[in-house]
Amino acid sequence: MASKELPRRDPEELLRQIQAQEAHEHRGRLKIFLGYAPRVGKSLRMFDEGRRRRKRGQDVVVGLIQAKGSDDVAELIREFEVVPCLSVPYGEALDVDAVLKRAPQVCLVDELAKDNPPSCRNAYRWQDVEEIRDHGINVVGAINLQHIREQQDAVERITGRRSASSVPQSFIESADEVVIVDVPAEDLTQSAGPGNLNPAQLSELRELALLLAAQVVEQQLQRYMESHGILQSWGTQERILVCITPRSSARDMLASGARAATRFHGQLLAIYVKQRDLTREAEEMIERNLDTARKLGAEVHVIEGADPIDAIIKFAREQRITQVFIGHTQQAAWKVWARSPVDRLINEAEGMDVRIFPQTTAQAA
């Protein structure tokens, strides 16, 4: 069997990847302790990490900490050098300049989702952390799931509450390590008062936090593969791509894909490669299928490509697709495709599972 030639890497893309990797290597590392609910002890875990690093000989300081209401945290602070916070009108903030002047190896920063007072140069505390990292200082921080912007709708659905302050999920995904502070739900409910979360709610929040941590691992894996020229679509979560055609059976593929995405806590995507000279009936079917995809929660993409198979494969690799759903008939659905398009797709979709759905009628012109 003839060996398959790997796609040639674009020089400009390769240069961008090298520059991005160099910038990443010169930045300070970020480790986040993520609590799936209040009172799980994320700040204590952060201090334990700082204590462990200091015992290894690293220079560790406290940049900003919320010690009110926690005698354990107040006691732990005494073990560390504390960089005084910045006193400004309407509150306190992390003194970024003082931290940069002190230049420690590690800075501990609690409550990453806090908004800064209006007089600060950065609007949010997480932006202070980014500035510190840009100067090569490592940061160990703590945050609760309820403060991650893209997770707030799900958290509100579970708890009926919504936090006023937040950080973008992209900030969490930029971390080099995210550690779930995993406390049994029974331990939390025993110390909770009336109106607090029940075990079922805590279990749902914990699952959300674990999925988020998996996404961070996937981002790290993708950065590593890109920096080492590894062309692979594998990810830590299922990413299902449904290929839309002017056929009614696309609804069956979408329904099956939606069920699989829900079962495996994955993502559903739908793609349509534009075709020319379609009948009016075929165009209407495409619109109905795309509308069905949107109603099922799919991320819909309409793209162009002289060769639909090449366009789908390129898109699937870029999106780290793990499963491709495609229909097949004896007659080619897309006449611009080469002979045996499904065979081509299967042959070129390395690292992806291809699932073929039977289709009975051709509606393209």
Q: Does one domain contain both 179 and 105?
A: yes
Q: Does one domain contain both 170 and 260?
A: no
**Of 334, 330, 362, 321, residue with least CA distance to 348:** 321
* DSSP code for 299: E
The pLDDT tens digits of the residues spanning 145-168 come to: 999 999 999 999 999 999 999 999
- Confidence (pTM): 0.62
Q: Does one domain contain both 312 and 345?
A: yes
**What are the phi and psi torsion angles at 236 (to 5°)?**
-80, -15
Q: What is the mean pLDDT of the chain?
A: 81
Q: Does one domain contain both 168 and 74?
A: yes
Give mean pLDDT, residues 340-348. Answer: 79
| Rg over CA atoms, the chain | 25
Is 6 part of any domain? no
**Of 170, 129, 169, 119, residue with least CA distance to 149:** 169
- Of 179, 202, 227, the position where a domain reaches its end is 227
- Exposed, middle or buried, 9 (CB in 10 Å: 0-12/13-18/19+)? exposed
pLDDT of residue 334: 46
Q: Does one domain contain both 121 and 261?
A: no
Is 101 part of any domain? yes
Q: Does one domain contain both 268 and 141?
A: no
- Of 227, 250, 283, the position where a domain reaches its end is 227
Helix (H) and strand (E) counts in the chain: 13, 13
Q: Is the torsion defined by CA of 27, 35, 148, 129 positive or negative?
A: negative
Q: Does one domain contain both 204 and 248?
A: no
Q: Residue 6: pLDDT band by 50, 70, 90 thresholds?
A: very low
- Of 227, 251, 271, the position where a domain reaches its end is 227
Structural domain containing residue 258: 239-358
Q: How many C-beta atoms lie closer than 10 Å to residue 21's C-beta?
A: 15
Instruction: List the CATH number of the domain containing 304.
Output: 3.40.50.620
CA 314 – CA 306 distance, rounded (Å): 13
Q: Does one domain contain both 70 and 198?
A: yes
The pLDDT tens digits of the residues spanning 184-235 come to: 766 665 454 445 788 889 888 988 888 888 777 766 666 665 665 555 544 5
Q: Residue 301: pLDDT band by 50, 70, 90 thresholds?
A: very high
**Of 117, 133, 119, residue with least CA distance to 171:** 133
Q: Does one domain contain both 269 and 342?
A: yes
Is 335 part of any domain? yes
Contact 106, 139 (CB under 8 A): yes
CA 229 – CA 18 distance, rounded (Å): 10
Q: Does one domain contain both 101 and 162?
A: yes
Instruction: List the CATH number of the domain containing 93.
Output: 3.40.50.300
The pLDDT tens digits of the residues spanning 307-339 come to: 888 999 999 988 889 899 988 754 444 444 445
Q: How many C-beta atoms lie closer than 10 Å to residue 254's C-beta?
A: 24
- Number of structural domains (the chain) is 2
Q: Does one domain contain both 196 and 263?
A: no
* DSSP code for 167: B
Q: Does one domain contain both 163 and 300?
A: no
